[in-house]
Amino acid sequence: MTMQIERAQLFKSLHVKGNPLILYNIWDAGSAKAIQEAGAKALATGSWSVAAAFGYADGEALPLDLALANLRRIVASVDLPVSIDFEGGYGVSPDEVGASVRQAIEAGAIGINFEDQVIGGEGLYAVDVQTARIRGIRRTADAMGIPLFINARTDIFLKNAETDALLDEAIARAHAYAEAGADGFFAPGLADPSRIAKLCAASTLPVNIILLPRVTATAKELAEAGVARISHGPYPYRHLMEQLKEAGRRALAME
């Protein structure tokens, strides 16, 4: 437990505005060990990649027990802090989400991504509903004595065309999630450099940006904009699978 607390504290300290934590997302123990050997300071799973590696679709189709077993294998295989992409928390109510997060902490997680889209439904949770869910997670972690890093994700920009009005809504959610006990704010889909800089300036939480193909800014430029965490989501897995398919094609063609 002491080591888990220390890793959680280290993980939080790595989120520095202007000097971002780089997370090249992993999906199993093998990829975790490879990225640790590449020089990573911390590790984070990507839910899409983990699900795909087990033959499931994203969106909590992967059974919770399997997700936790995979997490335990990852944690046991490395010496770094491990955060899990926990999607919608495998629950709806604060108590349900808290119970799932308890299991993730017991499996060794020191951080989670926690999104505000309605898994299996439409749209996003209302702010008051999502903040109650975040408070449920914080209560659970505090009761266990683990300073869990809650990376509160909003799917506003994944579900809509990017606009200034949506940026204002995202900033409002960032403030609300911070008050509820979140430690970071994740805005996947936000790509415009000027809007990213405005979000970083307005948010009291360290901001996480994912390097989607439409993000034109480099990691260095994102750092200059004030980003504190840069992640890669499913793209490491997808890139590796394309390489595997090409290698397989060449082998099968006897090239």
Statement: residue 255 has pLDDT above 90: no
Tens-place pLDDT, residues 25-78: 999 999 999 999 999 999 999 999 999 999 999 999 999 999 999 999 999 999
Contact 234, 46 (CB under 8 A): yes
**Token code pair at residue 120:** 């299996």
Q: Is the pTM of this model over 0.85?
A: yes
**Distances from the Cα of 114 to the Cαs of 41, 208, 212, in angstroms?**
21, 12, 19
**What mean pLDDT is predicted for residues 184-202?**
97
Statement: residue 1 has pLDDT above 80: no
Identify the pLDDT of residue 159.
Answer: 84
Contact 148, 105 (CB under 8 A): yes
Average of per-residue pLDDT values in the chain: 97
Identify the pLDDT of residue 160.
Answer: 86
d(CA 6, CA 251): 46
From 3.20.20.60, 3.40.50.720, 3.40.1440.10, 3.40.630.10, which CATH number describes the 2-252 domain? 3.20.20.60
Domain boundaries, the chain: 2-252
